[in-house]
Structure 1
Amino acid sequence: MVLEFKFNYIGDNDVFEHLLNFYAKDYIYDISINDEEYILKIKADPDKLSDFCNCFNNISHSIFLTGFEVKEAKDFKPTYKQKQNLENYASLSFLNSNAYVQKNILAENEWGKFCEISLSFDGKNFEKVNKSNFHSLLLKTLDIIKKREKVWMKNHKGIYTFYLFDKEFKEDFLMPCDVKAISSIFVCSNEQLKFLASFEKPLLALRLNALFRQKYDLKIDKFFLKLAEDIFLFALTHELFKENFHFLSFKKNESFMDDFKILNIKDKFVVLEGFEFVHSKIKDLIFAKDDKNMARISYLASRFKQKSLILELSKECDDILLLNKEFNLLKITLPDHSKNIYSELENDPTGKRLLENFQKEFKLLDEKFESKNNFFSLLCIVGRILNLSQDFKEAGQNLLALSDQSRLSRGVKIDFKLNDNKEFDFIRTLRSVMSFMLAGVSAQDISYGVVESLSYFLRDFYDELKQEKKAEIVLISGSLFEHKSLLENVLKHIRDCKLSNVPLRI
């Protein structure tokens, strides 16, 4: 009997190929890979195939696995030759975590790796964890942690300190001692739990539940969470949970590489940071370039065969609307002083009248702007006009936060247009904002309207290129898409928008 498994795997790495080889190694099998489509054919007696399927159900789920189907197939001749240079991962998997919980066995994962971390109890001298010292280090760590003291941990991503969570959200992320503990502090959907528990163990920001926020009078709305990604931390949290401890606080003191961080939109996600699950050859090429961000963008474009429009919207650099890897179609120049805005408004009767009415109700700005030629700087200017903060960048961040918190199904329509010279007309946007302020519209409703209107502008920009057959898909990139309301609106309004495993920024 022959079964054919068809998988859709969007990760540009060897993880899934290795796992298929590992679990099929005792059978007659064949693997074919075509871009994101992986096909595994396997031949055996029905009983053995049933055993394989039961075993295969225990494979660690990957966030890059977006779908699969299985069917009975015709006989085949194996043509697949396993690569000799598949990359190794020391990460926790179901194989070794289950062995510890069910049988108290210290086992390697599917790559034959046990544990890569080193521990220190003084921050200076580190000891590598292995099977021989595992239990003694575990007991010592448990003893120190329960005394409310710190422990240092080193892995390939950096050096961290961790200790028992003390209800203070002052470090970088929390690690739950068990998935059952998450709901005591956070609101976590099934989709989010699935991402957290995946093989990749990403950092994911979750919303704090209302009861916990009220009890401790917290100002923050979200905080990052991460499950144990190696067998030692898994065992440590497992033992702590038995004694009714729920969370560890982690701080990254020294960084060797970015942690793998994602943002989820229902059952989809974008990678915010971290090249850990990008093939090392690609990673080395990107980091060898002087302009690493442009190398990242080029890699993103290379992942798709269709003609693409890349929306590179950044909070740190100038924005780019890149067509087919080479043409930047965005022309945006923002003012570096508030006086430039008001002088522009006075150039026509409508703007002059608006300005006269506006200054009767609101104080005019008189300040320099730390503007870059990007939409984030435009949001910062709007944030200053709305008086969301005295600090320029913080005003933009607060506008985005208000937009993310909004429950509106549709916002007020803010003008986002190009002028006759095909340059972005920032003054129309600001004039629109000022008009809504005079009409008494709240800062939060205007904030959401600005973000939603930006997504409409990007949609219309792409639609024109699509009609001219210059672009077939849209790819999102850049740190501005870390904000959920913008990402949701772009995914909602641009149907040809594609997600990938490429981080939004570097």
Structure 2
Amino acid sequence: MNHDEVVFITQDLNNTTLSSNELDKENALKDSQMIECLMRFSSNNTAYAGVVKILLENLLYDFCEKNTEILCGIRDDIKKFTDFLEFLQCTNKQDSQNFSLYGQVKEITAFPLHNITETEDKSHVSLEKTQTFSHDFVLYMYADSKKVLDFSEYLSHALPFSSNFHFKEILPLELHRDKQKESASTQDILDIQRGNDISQYFKTPQKHAIFLPNIQQLNTMREGKQGNYAKIGEYIKLIETDLFSLDIVNISSHIESIYNVIDFLAKEILESKKIILQRNDCVFSLCKSYKSLQTDIDKDKRGQFLDTDFCLENTQQNCNTSDSKNQVNMNNKTIEEKNLQINFKSCEHLQAIQNPCVIFFDLYNAQSYLRLSESQKIALASFESPFIKIFCKNAFYKQFKSYSPFVKLPNDCILLLLFARLRELDEGIDFLFYEELAYNIKRDFHLSSQNVALRYFDDYPLKNFKHNSFVVGENVALAYHQTCKDFIEILRRNATDNPRFVIYLSHQHNSKFFIENPHSNIRYQQILEIKIMRNLGYYLQILHDYKNGDKLLLNFAHANKDLLHTWNLNPEELQKIGLYDLVASHTTQYHQTTLNNENISMNLLDIFELIEQFLGLKKCVLDFANQCVRDRGPRIDYKLIKDSENNIVIDYARLLRSVASFHLAGVEHELLCYGVIDSMAEFIGTLAGDIMLNYGIKEVFVCGDLLLEQCFLDRILHSIPKNMIFNLPVFGTVDTMQT
């Protein structure tokens, strides 16, 4: 076996690799040389991390069972790894010649999905800052160098990638022995070491019973071979199926029965029917076409899903029996199955959303349909298996009925076997539509016969869609689910002792730019006042008075005569900007507008509405921007000026001037709107740099649901100065709850 390189499971986008050639330079890994090392994993207290630890311990136990000459152990309570290393050196001071520590402890930035997952106590949300873990999980191993490499490779193929538990580094402990010890047998050396080495500070790995496969076992299931059905009883517990008269006690070991169940479900899907399954306490449906979904979709302008919940109505009178019957051959018996339709009523366990939920067969197929970044690929492939809002390629809009479906990959045996069977029957099946019907269903809750095709349980810490849907940027993920009642709660739950520059950009609330200093008599100091007149004519008059502004407006009007009626300017405003005669020749109606307090907005995002009106856009600026496939857009002017009251404000007329110039130059709407968002992020980054220079503020906190727009999140992550501390909201605190 070639051991030139071993890739460890890690959260860093650049995988940490351990090269045998590099370790040879350190004289640590040589053929037939015994080495002592620590493998360090970062962990937090989530249920996800707990399950991955069990899988890791089982893998270590299995490996040591096959390689009895290995000495190993684990420790799960190390909060400060550097202090632990000093402790080990101190305890071995009297025998320090036996080993010496080399290599440096290095921090690897983690992909912080852990930052937006709940703790095991669902009533409490973890307030850990991004890129921090509560403690280290350390694996100790003393073995032949080849065995260490074999185990490392074994882990890289079998241990699931998790954002709550990830490999951080391997730290060799160099052993200095005399020639007598070097020539001793492996067993003699182990006997010597057991008396005085550091293994006494680790516990022996145990084999844990768990209904959950590792990665190798999942990949075996993905192949869909009929022999794999015999192993399904090791990974899940089938509780109930009312499709057929099966003995549920024996179904886990009955290959033909399980195969026929999966085969029947696959054929139902291919006939454009919706099937309903229950995994743990979640009831969900699967179907192959968007038309089969029965969720009412309310199309909100900004694409936010509605916080409307539903649950199963578990009463016989609310179930409508259809006349259709299906026949299936099960164990050489023809059985008739009645289809029952479930009615739903409002409750607190389901969200009706504009963006459909889609489960892809694998990451390879997902890449064919979606515009995936590296961070999104990592998130999709993680053990947490979240729903990620991802933009599809424009050619596939009709299939998803949305440019931005919520996407995930299958992560249990039933779904993998179902997809495998579907691919055998129809190679064109790459994804299924998913709809969550109910959550927190008790395990002794029996749904009406034949509504739920199959009920099964495993040890996966499954979460409902509401708590498991995210937008993912580079090395960061933000939850759609919000739990804060007001803006003050957002600040409190993301509190810091340091002065910071706070930016709040929300679709729902007024924008805020201020300095928060918890140690000052004036805790909040406003930096930028946002005041936008909701009257396009007001800014066009200002633009007309700029140098060459009159020529720009005239050229724009002549080139876009069909847009003039969307400006809603009254005759007086048209006279002031010199367009009265031109507009009068193309329209006979004038829409009167008045300036009053209701036309004044304190939300910076309302500038998008003026741009939409100015350019006659049929969709909002953010929709166009999210469809842009380029990395940079044209530079739109976000300049600061002093108004008549000596307040610092944004020059919105200048902003519209640059928009008009690029539109005249023929820049497409998608790229132009992306430039509006890109330049806004750049403006915020420049402003943050000025705050650091003038006020000495080195920390920035950005919040508000504009962060949930992919185009803005991607750009703001690159716009904040690198020498500033950039904090994003913890789970559930991006914005306030929708009312």
Could you state the TM-score of these two structures normalised by the residue count of structure 1?
Answer: 0.72
* 149 and 187 in structure 1: CA distance in 2 versus 1, 3 angstrom threshold: same
Deviations 1:9-53 (A, max 9, x none): 6x7735335533652475522242354375333334315756653
1:385 is aligned to 2:614: yes
CA distance in 2, matches of 1:230, 1:155: 9
**Contact 2:539–2:652 (Cα < 8 Å) also in 1:** no
Counterpart of 2:286, as a letter, is F
* 223 and 332 in structure 1: CA distance in 2 versus 1, 3 angstrom threshold: same
Deviations 1:369-427 (A, max 9, x none): 998533322122212211112xxxx43334434xx515374513413325341344434
CA distance in 2, matches of 1:132, 1:329: 68
**Residue of structure 2 in register with 1:164 after alignment:** 288
CA distance in 2, matches of 1:370, 1:242: 60
Of 262, 268, 271, the residue aligned with 1:144 is: 268
* 453 and 409 in structure 1: CA distance in 2 versus 1, 3 angstrom threshold: closer
* 73 and 138 in structure 1: CA distance in 2 versus 1, 3 angstrom threshold: same
1:246 is aligned to 2:475: no
Of 628, 648, 651, the residue aligned with 1:405 is: 628
**Contact 2:543–2:653 (Cα < 8 Å) also in 1:** yes
**Residue of structure 2 in register with 1:457 after alignment:** 683
1:270 is aligned to 2:477: yes
Deviations 1:115-174 (A, max 9, x none): 7999999xxxxx9xx959993754543342233211134568965432124799997132
DSSP 3-state at the match of 1:45: strand
Please state how far the C-alpha of 1:98 moved relative to its aligned partner.
5.0
Of 478, 489, 506, the residue aligned with 1:314 is: 506
Q: Choose 1 or 2 for highest CA Rg.
A: 2
**Contact 2:163–2:384 (Cα < 8 Å) also in 1:** yes
CA distance in 1, matches of 2:143, 2:213: 31
Please state how far the C-alpha of 1:467 moved relative to its aligned partner.
2.2
CA distance in 2, matches of 1:382, 1:470: 35
DSSP 3-state at the match of 1:415: coil
* 242 and 473 in structure 1: CA distance in 2 versus 1, 3 angstrom threshold: farther
CA distance in 1, matches of 2:480, 2:688: 26
**Contact 1:118–1:153 (Cα < 8 Å) also in 2:** no
Counterpart of 2:420, as a letter, is H
The aligned runs of 1:19-38 (5 Å cut-off) are 19-20=52-53, 23-24=56-57, 27-31=72-76, 32-33=78-79, 35-36=132-133, 38=135
1:203 is aligned to 2:387: yes
CA distance in 2, matches of 1:44, 1:307: 45
Worse overlay, 354-363 or 56-65: 354-363
CA distance in 2, matches of 1:307, 1:65: 32
* 131 and 354 in structure 1: CA distance in 2 versus 1, 3 angstrom threshold: farther
* 272 and 44 in structure 1: CA distance in 2 versus 1, 3 angstrom threshold: closer
**Contact 2:287–2:434 (Cα < 8 Å) also in 1:** yes
**Contact 1:312–1:477 (Cα < 8 Å) also in 2:** yes
**Contact 2:628–2:671 (Cα < 8 Å) also in 1:** no
Of 534, 543, 548, the residue aligned with 1:336 is: 534
Q: Which sections of structure 2, spanning at least 5 residues, go unmatched?
A: 1-34, 62-71, 81-131, 175-196, 204-209, 294-353, 440-463, 570-590
**Contact 2:269–2:288 (Cα < 8 Å) also in 1:** yes
Of 582, 598, 603, the residue aligned with 1:374 is: 603
CA distance in 1, matches of 2:212, 2:501: 35
Counterpart of 1:4, as a letter, is L
* 357 and 257 in structure 1: CA distance in 2 versus 1, 3 angstrom threshold: same
**Residue of structure 1 in register with 2:655 after alignment:** 429
**Residue of structure 1 in register with 2:126 after alignment:** none
Worse overlay, 130-139 or 368-377: 130-139
CA distance in 1, matches of 2:212, 2:502: 33
**In the comparison of the two structures, how many residue pairs are matched?**
462
* 131 and 174 in structure 1: CA distance in 2 versus 1, 3 angstrom threshold: same
**Residue of structure 2 in register with 1:62 after alignment:** 162
Q: Which sections of structure 1, spanning at least 5 residues, go unmatched?
A: 82-88, 122-126, 275-285
**Residue of structure 2 in register with 1:491 after alignment:** 717
Please state how far the C-alpha of 1:462 moved relative to its aligned partner.
0.9
Please state how far the C-alpha of 1:206 moved relative to its aligned partner.
4.8
The aligned runs of 1:38-437 (5 Å cut-off) are 38-46=135-143, 52-57=151-156, 58-63=158-163, 68-73=168-173, 76=198, 94=215, 97=218, 100=221, 103-104=228-229, 105-106=231-232, 114=236, 135=258, 138-153=262-277, 160-165=284-289, 172-183=356-367, 185-186=369-370, 188=372, 192-206=376-390, 208=392, 213=396, 223-243=405-425, 244=427, 245-252=429-436, 258=466, 260-265=468-473, 268-274=475-481, 287=483, 290-291=485-486, 295-296=489-490, 298-301=492-495, 307-321=499-513, 323-324=515-516, 327=524, 329-342=527-540, 353=550, 357=554, 360-361=557-558, 363=564, 364-366=567-569, 373-389=602-618, 394-401=619-626, 404-405=627-628, 407=630, 409=632, 411-419=634-642, 420-434=646-660, 436-437=662-663
DSSP 3-state at the match of 2:640: coil
**Contact 1:413–1:450 (Cα < 8 Å) also in 2:** yes
DSSP 3-state at the match of 2:503: strand
CA distance in 1, matches of 2:212, 2:55: 15
State the identity as a percent.
Answer: 16
**Contact 1:414–1:453 (Cα < 8 Å) also in 2:** yes
Please state how far the C-alpha of 1:354 moved relative to its aligned partner.
6.8
**Contact 1:240–1:246 (Cα < 8 Å) also in 2:** no
